[in-house]
Structure 1
Amino acid sequence: MTGRADSGTQPSAGARDAAGQGPLGGLRIVESTAFIAAPLSTMSLAQLGAEVIRLDAPEGGLDYRRYPHAPAGASLYWSFLNRGKRSVTLDLRRQEDRERAAALICAPGEGNGIFVTNLPLKGELTFEALAARRPDVIVLSLDGSPDGATAIDYTVNAACGVAMMTGPQGVAGPVNNAMPFWDVICGKTIALGLLAAERERRLTGRGQHVKLSLSDVAMASMANVGILAEAELTGASRPRDGNWIYGTFGTDFPTSDGARIMLVAVTGKQWQALIAVMGLEARMQALATAFAADLTREEERYRIRHAIAALMGEWVAARNLDEIAAAFAGTAVCWSPFRDVAQMLAQDWRASIRNPMFQTVDHPGIGPVLTPASPLRFSNHDGEGARAGAHPAPVLGADTAGVLGGGD
């Protein structure tokens, strides 16, 4: 192999249709990443038309075989986080391969010169070394914590306080999230930071090193929705309160056939629709009088939430799920049945081929499964173009010869 980047070669099937389509067509990103946040960020950009080239160890990276697995053994985790990308195998422990990677990252071209990583920057792949090759290079690096401590989603979740707010009353210990939300939010933040740096480069000609820490994403998120300030001003942490929605009316109710639904009334329109469907106008007025509550205000609905829920619970408990769905159909009531993932897949239109965001895509080592394109819908890229981001993952190393322009 040589260190030459050849932009005229053919990409793998997963990336061939993605490159050049969508609002980010012409942008090329090279990544050396593992786990969730960083590869999720570049996958999201690939869905919008960016060409994304993974640098993978010949044997696969740290997360190449992570659970869950398809029946044939392929990692669903790795495959779905790397859809629509190209895969180049290089051993970045070797100086020769770091040199090849640096040449690829710094290849000439307006849309080139972008590198994303959450792995240690060494030798030829440090920002300083890359900037010496290409002064306008953009490097975005993710770490766990700005103080250098190791952190992942589950330790960040423990540190930021969410695990002590989650779960029913009376639980003494922490309740973790089943979904790695901090990694997902971080991935979207990486994409935002990269696009901001790329815009600044177009305006000024300057590249830069953008740094981000997973723990900062979590702490900023807690502050952005007022939870941190609430604790600072009150001197107390928000207690866990089951499935109640803090500050407004919303909780879960059992139906007559053993299902469970979530009812939420954040706006006045939702509240009025809910009590109208249930025929509770007079009883709610009596409740408001008894508690001296103005139920047009969501904080007041929250204050007397238990009394409200007692009335609504009677209505829900007297009906099965189909009857409730029929009563709420066509109204402004905000609600949903609780479902597990298998039920969602089987029953819910949002995860079916009736939703054009999803297509059935044949993934290497996995087979045909529902695969989403970007949830963003652009008016300049409607119709089939809007669904072009539903691509398979690459085969490990399939693009090495094509991208690097030769073989050993």
Structure 2
Amino acid sequence: MTTSAPNLAGPLAGIKVLELGTLIAGPFCARMLAEFGAEVIKIEAPEGGDPIRQWRVLKDGTSLWWSVQARNKKSVTLNMKDERGRAIARQLALEADIIIENYRPGVLEKWDLGYEQLKAVNPATIMVRLSGFGQTGPMKDLPGFGAVGESMGGLRYVSGFPDRPPLRVGISIGDSVAALHGVIGAMMALRHRDATGGRERGEGQMVDVALYESVFNLMESLVPEYDQAGVIRERTGGALPGIVPSNTYTTRDGDNIVIAGNGDAIFKRLMLAIGRIDLAGDPQLARNDGRVPRTAEIDHAIQSWCDTQDIDGALAVLKAADVPSSKIYSVRDMMSDPQFLARDMFEQHHFPDGTPVKLPAISPKLSATPGHTKWMGPALGQHNDEVLAALGYSAQQIAAFRQDKVL
């Protein structure tokens, strides 16, 4: 049996996306569509562009993050304070299959680029709107960054240790989760549009993504537990509350190890592996609801065993017992790990000066139409001439736009 070579055009080849927004949520949403073949045109301010170009670690004045966040996108600079810039953006919006934006509600309406304004001309318009609090409600006009969404959505409250203030995850998780909700919404809206007549006659819609709601969507059983039992989930450090044992422990060489022995059969194998035959055979501990009241005892038994093991030895024992476990990886660990390498989770590229650089590979992995990096994040305005020429503007008109600082 033979399999055909993967199609690197991507499953979204032929889909046009306009990205109006900066920083993380909107651009990450558009990035994923670009990685799977959509033509993404990113609108940036002529002066400085997207602020993420200067965030975190820089090379030659540009963020290394930018090389990932903007890969496969076309950069077009437009002065949105100039009516000619707004007119060009409107042309691009009316030609797009999907528009992604993360301004405060009302900004696009001032520019004649709001969803209802575009829908009146093109009923097939799909607009993904990412904002702190959504397009409705008493907080819709307030600024809402990812940190605010994580706090209001419940994630910060349960993160950290009970005797200390809440902690944040070390990445912009609220923005990224919202972006993923935007991608899901865009794909469902595109499916509906195509099922109702396609680009010419289909029904578009607005995808309204609020950062706090995206985080809230991850919060498992928080609501029914409170509604029915008055339970407010609190911070539990490295443990997963109510699911025992699932915690972080420390080995004798100072490494941290996650051990998830919370399945009933797994718990028994774990106890036998660490020499606690008494706990393995205790009928009260045979099910999770019996283990929860004795969480401290079980965690103490596991930690006492970890005190006698180095990280490699502990992992070997747990692997032999078929107990889910892992060292907590740094990026250094990832980049030398056989699993990451076997799955081709790093891509080799080059900066314009020839310097090699590794980027994270694209996820998820599709067997027939995988994602593909065509180019790293573009220079500011790199695609101005190409995109405007495709809209019908002459070289002279483009030069005049540039002279008048429209571009």
Shorter-chain TM-score bucket reads 0.7 to 0.9
| Pairing 1:274-353 to 2, within 5 Å after superposition | 274-280=270-276, 282-285=277-280, 288=282, 293-295=284-286, 297-341=287-331, 343-349=332-338, 353=341
Q: Retained in 2: the 8 A contact 1:63–1:78? A: no
* Distance in 2 between residues matched to 1:161 and 1:201, nearest whole Å: 34
Structure 1 position 366, deviation (Å): 10
* Distance in 2 between residues matched to 1:92 and 1:336, nearest whole Å: 49
Q: Which amino acid aligns with 2:61?
A: G
Worse overlay, 239-248 or 70-79: 70-79
Q: Which amino acid aligns with 1:213?
A: A
Match of 1:377 in 2: 365
* Distance in 1 between residues matched to 2:353 and 2:23, nearest whole Å: 19
Q: Retained in 1: the 8 A contact 2:155–2:216? A: no
**SS of the counterpart of 1:133?**
coil
Residue 165 and residue 23 in structure 1: after superposition, are their counterparts in 2 closer, same or farther (change >3 A)?
same
**SS of the counterpart of 1:130?**
helix
Structure 1 position 128, deviation (Å): 3.0
Structure 1 position 100, deviation (Å): 1.0
State which of 161, 181, 195 in structure 2 corresponds to 1:168.
Answer: 161
| Pairing 1:139-178 to 2, within 5 Å after superposition | 139-146=127-134, 147=137, 148=140, 149-171=142-164, 173-178=165-170
For these two proteins, the number of residue pairs brought into alignment is 372
State which of 2, 24, 38 in structure 2 corresponds to 1:36.
Answer: 24
* Distance in 2 between residues matched to 1:106 and 1:227, nearest whole Å: 42
**SS of the counterpart of 1:125?**
coil
Residue 354 and residue 56 in structure 1: after superposition, are their counterparts in 2 closer, same or farther (change >3 A)?
same
Q: Retained in 2: the 8 A contact 1:374–1:390? A: no
- Cα deviation per residue 1:168-206 (whole Å; 9 max; x = unaligned)? 2322x3322222222111101001111111111111111
Q: Retained in 2: the 8 A contact 1:70–1:366? A: no
Q: Retained in 2: the 8 A contact 1:364–1:395? A: no
| Pairing 1:9-408 to 2, within 5 Å after superposition | 21-107=9-95, 112-119=96-103, 120-121=107-108, 122-146=110-134, 147=137, 148=140, 149-171=142-164, 173-204=165-196, 205-222=202-219, 225-248=220-243, 249-280=245-276, 282-285=277-280, 288=282, 293-295=284-286, 297-341=287-331, 343-349=332-338, 353-363=341-351, 367-381=355-369, 386=370, 388-389=372-373, 391-405=375-389, 406=395, 407-408=398-399
Identity %: 26
**SS of the counterpart of 2:289?**
helix
Q: Retained in 2: the 8 A contact 1:265–1:334? A: yes
Q: Which amino acid aligns with 2:303?
A: G
Q: Retained in 1: the 8 A contact 2:9–2:37? A: yes
* Distance in 2 between residues matched to 1:150 and 1:216, nearest whole Å: 15
Task: Normalising by structure 2, report the TM-score.
Answer: 0.83
**SS of the counterpart of 2:62?**
coil
- Cα deviation per residue 1:111-160 (whole Å; 9 max; x = unaligned)? x4321111220333122332343232222222211331221111122223
* Distance in 1 between residues matched to 2:280 and 2:325, nearest whole Å: 22
Q: Retained in 2: the 8 A contact 1:113–1:134? A: no
Q: Retained in 2: the 8 A contact 1:49–1:389? A: no
Q: Retained in 1: the 8 A contact 2:153–2:213? A: no
Q: Retained in 2: the 8 A contact 1:74–1:365? A: no
Q: Retained in 2: the 8 A contact 1:29–1:116? A: yes
* Distance in 1 between residues matched to 2:193 and 2:351, nearest whole Å: 36
* Distance in 2 between residues matched to 1:214 and 1:308, nearest whole Å: 37
* Distance in 2 between residues matched to 1:96 and 1:26, nearest whole Å: 27
Structure 1 position 331, deviation (Å): 4.4
CA-atom RMSD in angstroms: 2.5
Q: Which amino acid aligns with 1:298?
A: N
Q: Which amino acid aligns with 1:234?
A: A
* Distance in 2 between residues matched to 1:99 and 1:345, nearest whole Å: 46
* Distance in 2 between residues matched to 1:260 and 1:238, nearest whole Å: 25
Residue 236 and residue 270 in structure 1: after superposition, are their counterparts in 2 closer, same or farther (change >3 A)?
closer
- Cα deviation per residue 1:43-78 (whole Å; 9 max; x = unaligned)? 111111111110111123352444212242211333
- Cα deviation per residue 1:200-255 (whole Å; 9 max; x = unaligned)? 11111112232222122223333xx1112222333342222221111211112221
